[in-house]
A and B are shown apart, each in its own frame.
Chain A
Amino acid sequence: MPKWQLKDARVYIGPYDFSGQHNRIALDLARAPLAAETFVDDTEIKDTGLASAKLSGSGFWEAGAESGSTAKKIDDALFANFTVKDVPVTVVPSIGQGIGGVAYSIQAATVAYKPLIGPHGQLIGFSYEMAPSRSRVIRGRLLALGQWGAADDARFLALVAMQATAYALTSQTLPSGESARCISATHATVAVTDTLGNLVIDGTDVSGAVIQETLALVSDGTAYGVKEFKAVTGLRTAGWVQGGATADTLKVGYGPQGVPTQLGAVSATEKLYGVIHAYAFSGTTPTLDAKIQSDVAAAFPSAVDKITFTQKSGFASEWAELAGPNTDDWVRASLTVAGTATPKFSAIVLAAIAAIPQ
């Protein structure tokens, strides 16, 4: 079994990513032990009672705003949090797990904050404690992380006539800085529909490893892949046969959807939880419409919107809940970015299933 080193944890407090200010984090969960022994027991038997949680963190203190940004620094955010509650806070033990990785979230109240810790000559520290102010601790899985721009359905292959040989790529890479994406392939009939066959995609994933995905093309529609491509190095069709005098057309890019994760079905006594932290943005009047969708299979043949977050136009965070049941066991995030001057958002989205207290 692996040993996990605490070196790439992430801490999101409200709409801010404060991972770069923290060097210590602890989430402690407890349930009150309740005496439950009876005359038939010779041992002290315990049941477990109400849950409690404490999130404590510490690191290096900063105040003010980020240069050229309205982002708050840690002191501004934590001091402001003293007057509010239900702030979504998410801790990711290892961001290197990527999509599907573990994340813990609470809606928190800051119950203690120590700014300006340290003796003369030392780096100034801070520490805080938070406790749930509403709902419960959820253990979720990451559905989206990093920087997202607008979808581009012709990023890798601009609209071309289909052919039996490999295609000349329009681009091999995503826009600089953007997270790896699932591939989309859009077909359109020209006079007579061709025998479509499959699209074979060669490329590399977020770690640089070589990957390949075979996508069954959809007649006069868009087929979406389920693998995360950071770069595409080759596109070719397999089994394609021209149907009429002129070949159909094909374009290949990426849509707003993220990689599917098998979270499990939601029973009638459970809820689906969704949390988003939109912690950076750029462009002119950028907007982010984020959803959590579900379906019965990883290929998402008939995606259903389950949680739709309110539109974000800047720093924002949101906690959403949807009561079960939901028999779909696959979920994914869909992040639609719009605006002008190359709009981009950096965000994480997670989903979790937890029981409704009975």
Chain B
Amino acid sequence: MPKFQLVAPFLEIAAVAYSTLIKDADLALARAVLDAAAGGDDTEVKDTGLKQVGFSPTLYQDYTDNGLDEILFAAYDAKTELAIKFRYSTAAIGAANPEYRFSAKVSGFSPISGQHGQFIMTKPNFVISSGSVTRAVA
């Protein structure tokens, strides 16, 4: 089986690609764990509940006009929803390059953070604000 190396991940926020600003990104999908143990069980059995989505990529900050900082602050300030698309490669979507899509609001980010001499990074926290995560292969 092939190994997939994260070399050129694709990230789109509100229809604008920010792939070249990605330092690292984890899309975390989970489900709430519900205690389902009942009479007759000798083990704590679990069921899964609502889906949970966490996305907080680390990005190089960009202060250019209409750049990342302006987009994030506007969405944070106005509480607007952004369309997020994320896949492992900038290559075309396909069965081996699925794209995860969801709508999210910015629940936090750091416009400036760092020590003298370092690159300025920001780590926006996106919370899913409507619908759910979809996985597109075409």
Residues of A within 8 A of B (CB): 1-7, 9, 22-33, 36-37, 41-48, 51, 91, 93-94, 97, 100-102, 104, 136-137, 139, 354-355
Contact = CB atoms under 8 A, between A and B. Distances in A.
Given A4-B62, A43-B53, A354-B77, A48 B106 contact: yes
B119 interface: yes
Nearest to B18: A1
A7 B117 contact: yes
Contacts of B53: 43-44
Q: State the majority secondary structure of interface residues on B.
A: strand
Contacts of B119: 3-6
A5 B65 CA distance: 17
Interface stretch (B1-9, B36-44, B87-95, B130-138): B130-138
B82 to A, nearest CB: 12
Interface residues of B, number: 47
B74 to A, nearest CB: 8
A3 B20 CA distance: 10
Contacts of B133: 43
A46 B105 contact: yes
Given A5-B117, A26-B113, A42 B132 contact: yes
A43 B51 contact: yes
Contacts of B127: 33, 46, 48
B128 A45 contact: yes
A104 B73 CA distance: 10
Contact of B115 (A23, A91, A100): A23
Given A41-B50, A97-B63, A104 B128 contact: no
A355 B108 contact: no
B73 A139 contact: yes
Contacts of B109: 29
Nearest to B74: A139
A7 B115 CA distance: 9
A31 B130 CA distance: 17
A74 B127 CA distance: 38
Given A43-B52, A47-B105, A27 B132 contact: no
Contact of B107 (A5, A7, A30, A102): A30
Contacts of A93: 61, 63, 69, 111-112, 120
B41 to A, nearest CB: 26
Contacts of A42: 50-51, 132
Given A43-B131, A354-B77, A31 B63 contact: no
B50 A1 contact: no
B108 to A, nearest CB: 4
A44 B129 contact: no
Nearest to B118: A6
A330 to B, nearest CB: 15
